[in-house]
Amino acid sequence: MKIGTWLLAMLTPMIGRILAALGFSVVTVLGMEGILSQVRTSLVSGLGGMSGDMFNVFLLAGGGQALGIITGALTTRLLLWQVQNATRILGVNPS
């Protein structure tokens, strides 16, 4: 067996796994981006129904920062889940 044939036989399944993992990551990130934008829109519309004084108290209490922290935590958890699943698909973590 020639070395080129052997290398091609070894790389073909790995290339398929890498492409599958990349496709999975694109679909997951785009789907979660849509969900997070809907959550943000829902939060903004919910806050828009408050009176001006209540909204000012909400912002003074750090409500805007809290919402930013919560959406950041959701995004970070998505990223960690994505990395874990991508390595599992690629065969790095076969658990």
Per domain, the residue ranges of the chain are: 3-90
- pLDDT tens, position by position, 20-56: 666 666 666 677 777 778 888 888 888 888 888 998 9
pLDDT at 91: 57
Print burial letters for 25-58: b (CB count within 10 Å at least 16), e (below 16).
beebeeebeeeeeeeeeeeeeeeeeeeeeeeeee
Residue 60 has pLDDT above 90, yes or no: yes
3 state DSSP class of 62: coil
- pLDDT tens, position by position, 2-21: 777 777 777 766 666 666 66
pTM of the entire predicted model: 0.53
**Sign, CA torsion 17/21/23/24:** positive
